[in-house]
A = this chain, B = another copy of it.
Amino acid sequence: MKATLAAICLLSPSLALGSDDPLPSWNDGPAKTAVLNFVETTTTEGSTDFVRPSERIAVFDNDGTLWAEQPMYFQLLFALDRVKAQADDHPEWKTTEPFKSALAGDMKGLLATGKEGLAKVLAVSHAGMTADEFAGSVRRWLRTAKHPTTGKPYYRMVYQPMLELLAHLRSNGYKTFIVSGGGVDFMRVFAERVYGVPPEQVIGSSIAAKYELRDGVPTIVKLPEGLFVDDKEGKPANIYGRIGRRPVFAAGNSDGDKQMLQYTTIPRGVDDTTARFGLLVHHTDAEREWAYDRKSHIGQFDKALDDAPQRGWVVVDMAEDWNRVFAD
């Protein structure tokens, strides 16, 4: 009998772990309990909190919520790598800002060039090319680039507990969206494979694009204009514009997500008793990841942290609530 049981366990790892637990990387505690209860009550017919399948919209921030964002947004690291790769064709960059600082890896100097400087660096890697060329350059970078401190490929720095949460919501009829300050065209290159979120459910910052027939071939060209920043007030505005209905579940990790959580969870009036869920990932784990919040330049988490108790938002303590961080 023992041999048979061992054989079954080998064949079925989830049974071996003693669980049909949909969130095995989450420790037992108030955050995990709240998430599981919410999904159960909103999907059980007859429950007062039942949410019709068509209204089951869940939105997730990306940087710091689904994957890491330190020592700086990965998309900015991509942009800097692209500047370096093109530097030989632009000798003038050695002496003119913001490229001088970018090439020297001088982050302080680069940030001192302000939004305009950053926009110039981003323009080099993100505009003036076709959509296919851009996607190809992101794809090549993801395949080869390594994170500066962990040495891992960036696509391995996604949070296993959040992958489990995405999958659990989807298996209960929720449609999962990414709503991120990151560039929509950047995230779409990997979101389907890494998160299971198809391109049409990825929402992010964007620049204008134009369509043309180029030598008879339909071509989309990315333009250095028409920037929409999908952050803070921009998130609910973009959710309205692109999804067209209010989510019932929102997850973020920084002040940039505060308005998205407000939009998702605050009742519209006294009659509005729909169940809603706001979740915030608190980066408390300096050992396995990073510890930062109120004073961080990247992913500042201050006002949203203050608002969490009164709004009923669930704050996930990464060190306490997760028994595993990365998905690799």
Q: Closest B-chain residue to A200, C-beta based?
A: B243
Say whether B218 contacts A236, CB under 8 Å: yes
A236 proximity list for chain B (CB < 8 A): 211, 218, 220
How far is B217's CA from A237's CA once the two chains are assembled, in angstroms?
14
Q: Does A99 lie at the interface of the complex (its beta carbon under 8 Å from any beta carbon of B)?
A: no
Q: Does A233 lie at the interface of the complex (its beta carbon under 8 Å from any beta carbon of B)?
A: yes
Nearest CB on B from A23, distance (A):
26
Q: Does A245 lie at the interface of the complex (its beta carbon under 8 Å from any beta carbon of B)?
A: yes
Which among A200, A237, A259 has the highest number of chain B CB atoms within 10 Å? A200
Q: Does A210 lie at the interface of the complex (its beta carbon under 8 Å from any beta carbon of B)?
A: yes
Q: Chain A at the B interface: mostly helix, strand, loop or mixed?
A: mixed
A206 proximity list for chain B (CB < 8 A): 241
Nearest CB on B from A268, distance (A):
6
How far is B216's CA from A266's CA once the two chains are assembled, in angstroms?
8
Q: Does A192 lie at the interface of the complex (its beta carbon under 8 Å from any beta carbon of B)?
A: yes
In the complex, besides A217-B269, A220-B240, 7 extra interface pairs with C-beta distance below 8 angstroms are A54-B192, A199-B243, A200-B244, A210-B233, A213-B266, A218-B262, A218-B263
Chain A residues packing against B (C-beta within 8 Å)? 54, 57, 131, 175, 177, 184-185, 188, 192, 198-202, 206, 208-213, 216-218, 220, 233-237, 240-245, 259, 262-263, 266, 268-269
